[in-house]
């Protein structure tokens, strides 16, 4: 925050203490933007907005404690820091849900087996084919996105997918039935 901005915010807070509601709303709007950045660097994304709201409420409740003869930035940073510490303490007290000893998922064994077999099959392909198939067919990237990630041209990505799938089909056809 620039010193000029901090001085402006201090003047706005002094005006708000004098009863200027419009100035106070503008101040809170600008402080909100600053708080979002402040908490985004310090808290998990799901807690940022709640921390901002808690801090804005604290600023509103404690606005009478701000001394216009003193800099505004340290006062604001102190309020935000206290709310951040409160949030960290609350996170430390939260208990995670305990998972049961057994989690039943129907068909889980066949899904795991299929995933392992698919991984083993794909590993038999050339590295460029493996990468193209994983990105486009398994991870859902577009051909253009896969091209950007791999450095291959879009047409080469398509060729590697086509040749890789053809090779996989040949491998599966040649595999004994007892596997």
Average pLDDT over residues 51-55: 94
The pLDDT value given to residue 100? 63
| The CATH classification of domain 3-92, taken from the options 1.10.10.10, 3.40.640.10, 1.20.1090.10, 1.10.1740.10 | 1.10.1740.10
Closest CA to 47 of 98, 92, 99: 92
Q: Tens digit of pLDDT for each residue in 7-32?
A: 789 889 999 888 888 888 999 999 99
Q: Tens digit of pLDDT for each residue in 123-132?
A: 899 999 999 9
Rounded to 5 degrees, φ, ψ at 98 are -80, 130
Share of residues in the chain with pLDDT > 90 (%)? 44
Tell me the pLDDT band of 176, cut-offs 50, 70 and 90. low
Average pLDDT over residues 139-153: 90
Look at residue 56 and tell me whether its pLDDT is greater than 90: yes
- The Cβ-side half-sphere exposure at 135, using a 13 Å CA radius, reads 23
The pLDDT value given to residue 179? 47
Query: Do you know the residue count of the chain?
Result: 179
- The model carries a pTM of 0.50
Closest CA to 65 of 14, 6, 3: 14
Contact criterion met (CB below 8 Å) for 146 and 166: no
Report domain extents, the chain. 3-92, 118-174
Burial profile 100-115: b = 16 or more Cβ within 10 angstroms, e = fewer: eeeeeeeeeeeeeeee
Share of residues in the chain with pLDDT > 70 (%)? 83
Residue appearing with tokens 């041209």? 153
Mean pLDDT across the chain: 84
Topology of the domain comprising 118-174: Arc Repressor Mutant, subunit A (1.10.10)
């Amino acid at each position: 925050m620039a010193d000029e901005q901090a001085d402006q915010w201090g003047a706005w807070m002094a005006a708000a203490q004098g009863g200027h509601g419009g100035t106070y709303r503008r101040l809170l709007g600008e402080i909100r933007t600053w708080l979002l950045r402040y908490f985004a660097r310090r808290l998990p994304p799901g807690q940022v907005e709640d921390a901002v709201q808690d801090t804005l409420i604290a600023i509103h409740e404690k606005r009478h404690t701000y001394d216009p003869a003193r800099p505004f930035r340290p006062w604001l940073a102190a309020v935000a820091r206290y709310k951040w510490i409160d949030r960290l303490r609350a996170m430390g007290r939260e208990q995670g849900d305990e998972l049961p000893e057994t989690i039943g998922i129907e068909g889980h064994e066949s899904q795991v087996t299929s995933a392992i077999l698919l991984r083993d099959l794909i590993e038999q392909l050339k590295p460029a084919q493996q990468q193209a198939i994983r990105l486009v067919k398994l991870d859902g990237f577009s051909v253009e996105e896969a091209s950007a990630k791999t450095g291959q041209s879009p047409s080469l990505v398509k060729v590697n997918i086509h040749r890789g799938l053809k090779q996989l089909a040949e491998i599966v056809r040649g595999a004994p039935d007892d596997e």
